[in-house]
Structure 1
Amino acid sequence: MNYVPTRITADGRDGYPVEAGRYRLIAARACPWANRAIIVRRLLGLEGAISMGLTGPTHDQRSWTFDLDPGGVDPVLGYERLQQAYFARFPDYPRGITVPAIVDETDGKLVTNDFAQMTLDLSLEWTAFHREGAPELYPEHLRDEMDVVMKRVFTEVNNGVYRCGFAGSQESYEAAYDRLFVALDWLEERLAGRRFLMGESITEADVRLFTTLARFDPVYHGHFKCNRQKLSEMPVLWAYARDLFQTPGFGDTTDFAQIKKHYYVVHSDINPTQIVPKGPDLAGWLTPHHREELGGRPFGDGTPPGPPLPAEVVPASGAALAA
């Protein structure tokens, strides 16, 4: 899919300069691509500079909708459907209406839905509004290696689970399955001796991997037939995922109820009954991971973010069980 490549930059070269209070991130907790933007915004402390609207976990063929808001209307944009922001800028927009999206609050028009560039720009272009102690998620000295790692994570894992789930033949499914687990085995090996993907501190690469791992056992293992093992049966990746989950910004932005409802209800071609599974048990996410034994400094020279804004706390129905 081609995304709207407009960027919000410090120099405003695309016509959209970085400006606190002007833009609204529209996201869905259910969506792994949107979950990335939610995490990065929180890690960098951009809540006061960029507002956030959340859609419901399901959508129809037309658009994500603001089911969670009173009257089903986003309180800032006044929209019932994210589609309205897309059409405000592109009346004949021909592609899918996707999250995350950033909308200009001044005119209600979509700015960008380029999820990969979006989070990098939050790190690199919005530095004037980062909180004190914000981590460096895309450090310059690691970028060449990071780009290689993130490309493999994207093609083989983030997209790999979808290739399995939407395979149209036994042959294509088995090929996708093999590719996915080759990559997961590579990650098990890579993370065995280092706490995070790029070493001792959390980076954008970890954010991108985490959102797929969080959905693996609740959705991808069964719904997408990625069932060689559960995440909880891959010792290194499971400990790594728990380490991140227990880090402010990761687990506290993860809503398992919305995640399950999205996939099992929206993908009616795969799950015609639209029955949402009760499991799996979430208590394991809060068990000790022992990854601190590898050392490392999760936020580098920075500090963890504070608690989420009261309006952005994940409902108890979707959170992992309290310890």
Structure 2
Amino acid sequence: MSADVRAQHMADPMFGTVFTEHMAGVRYAEGKGWHDARIGPFAPLPLSPATAALHYGQAIFEGLKAYRAPDGSALLFRPEANARRFADSAARLSMSAVPEETFLAALEELVAVDRAWLPDAPGTSLYLRPFQLATEEYLGVRPAVEYLFGVIACPVGASFPGGAAPLTIWVSDAYTRAAPGGTGAAKCAGNYAASMAAHTQAREAGCDQVVFLDAVERRYVEELGGMNLFFVLDDGTLLTPPLGGTILPGITRDSVMTLARDAGHRVVERSYTLDEWRADAADGRLREVFACGTAAVVTPVGTVRSADGEFTVGGAVTGPVTGGLRTALTDIQYGRAADPYGWTRRLG
């Protein structure tokens, strides 16, 4: 592809719509292990109609980004953590785990071969999507014995059209995301398929995202469709729902907690009800709310809407804690600030 055509594709792409020219792939077969690792053209996958993933849902994925540093090098942010979570997701779905070194090598080699797709405009990055699916041809309820691990990439800007503008979110009272003993802590495709109906309701209500409550009592706030939540109280405390097996252990979530503690904030993991959220917003005890994840990084939540009405938090503007944490995190990700945590992996 010519540089001019590539530049046209990279000009303000919508998230997840324009893909680089190559993809990484590694095969697994029982008795043979992981083999046939290669970088090839981005192309359709030849799959049988009897492919196990299509019928029984053994499919997982990850998401992380490569950032262009001021010196022109590429930086991966905490890829080892993604590799560990990927293995945990595989274990939950009884899939053969990809070795960490294979996972990391696939990322690095794909970024190297498609380096020209790493954007340099402010706020842009190269989003990397590792995935694994059961490719065995069979119909029967048991773990597959053949898998494909792959990585694709796409240049991205802001995850939401408004950039870091405060989100309006819809409280789902008809659907739940995960239940105790389920797959809430795994990054599996089925979790996202199950959330689509709630996302449709959110869009119909004019909202950017949906927030789910717990599946048992329908009282406790858990997470958004693809992001973790934080609540900033008037004494500077950051409160976030505990993981407990029903919430995805976000890598951005963990990073925010570390940065917040080092900035002098008290960080508390505890259950928080929708009623508390509404009451604390009304009396001013709750100053800010933000969501965080790989795609949206740290994004403020301004308005909460439900069948019972709506309320706002902190004047529906980006608060100082939210903005400060976003800046601190992105400065490390883009190599604009020192990384005392060893989070970034420089690719040269």
The alignment's TM-score, normalised by the length of structure 2, stands at 0.27
The alignment's TM-score, normalised by the length of structure 1, stands at 0.29
**Structure that is richer in helix per residue:** 1
- Higher alpha-carbon Rg: 2
